[in-house]
Amino acid sequence: PALFHQTLFKKQSFLKAAGPGDRSVTFPRYVNRLKEDDEACAAALKDGSIFLFHRLSPLLRRPDARTFSPAAFTCSGTEPERLVLQRLGSDGSQLKEAVLIGCSEQNQAQFCLDVGSGLCSGELDQAAVEEASQGTFIDLRKAFFLLPAAEAPLVSKGQALLRWHQTSRFCGASGQPTQRNRAGSQRFCSSSSTVYYPKVTSSVAEEVGLEIQSISYSSSQHWPFPHSSFMLGCHALVSPAHTQVSSQVIIEVV
């Protein structure tokens, strides 16, 4: 509890520091802090939203007869939500497998967790979770046609992160198992000292804390190894109001 309240205070202070008009930079920086600080991430999970998947299919609910939305759970939520999360283990061991997606407009950390992947300490029955949560696990391709445009990227990024963890459990150099950090933003092989990062699009604000005013295409290049990637080069103008960045972060990005 002490760690949770201390982290919450730091979070509120961190978000207030840049003012309400700087959310595009402040919140990505906060998310980046959760990726780097295991204790802060663990505390954020207790107050965060958890979006469940079953074998990479997101759990959706119908608030009304016409719309669907991703089913969000919190450790301090309603009784049905707590009952579903309790199925993940009273000690919270399976909740530790949740992967950080980002942060909502309401300053709440967002996580995703696949309860049917077999990576958790025990796979949950799909029908039982659907009944308890009054939702349905729906294939992502179908979900795109059911979700509002603003919510589709959330489940898409969540699935991409979960899929990456399921397919990156072993090091390509040593063949040894890799270990993830608390947020799930990287995996590390102690044998080869290799750090692996998920191939999920991130913003300039998230990586280096800069707000972009405009961007223009420069060039492109095919990169066949290892996953037939396609690289794009662009020129961007930075807002003069947001030019204070960490030199260490810039070095890492370059």
Name the phi and psi angles at 176, rounded to 5: -85, 155
Same domain, yes or no: 229 and 155: no
Domain assignment of residue 213, given as a range: 206-253
Together in a domain, 121 and 178: yes
Asked if residue 63 and residue 172 are part of one domain, the reply reads yes
162 and 123: one domain? yes
Per the structure, how many domains does the chain have? 2
What does each of the 254 residues of the chain score in pLDDT, given as a tens digit?
444 444 444 555 555 444 444 555 677 788 888 999 999 999 999 889 999 999 999 999 998 878 899 998 887 766 666 677 776 654 566 788 899 999 988 888 999 999 887 655 567 788 888 888 889 999 999 998 999 988 999 999 999 999 999 999 999 999 999 999 999 999 999 999 999 998 775 566 656 667 777 888 898 888 766 556 678 888 888 877 666 665 655 555 54
Predicted pLDDT at 120: 56
Residue 162 lies in a domain: yes
Quote the CA–CA distance of 230 and 234 in Å, as a whole number.
13
Three-state helix/strand/coil letters over 110-146: EEEEECCCCCCCCCCCHHHHHHHHCCEECCHHHHHHH
In this structure, are 74 and 195 located in the same domain? Answer: yes
Co-location of 138 and 68 in the same domain:
yes
63 with 118, same domain: the answer is: yes
pTM assigned to the model? 0.72
Same domain, 32 and 129: yes
What local confidence, expressed as pLDDT, does residue 109 receive?
94
Q: What is the pLDDT of residue 20?
A: 45
- Which residues are bridge partners to 189 per DSSP? 194
- Amino acid present at 75: C
Q: Are residues 212 and 146 in the same domain?
A: no
Residues 244 and 145 in one domain: no
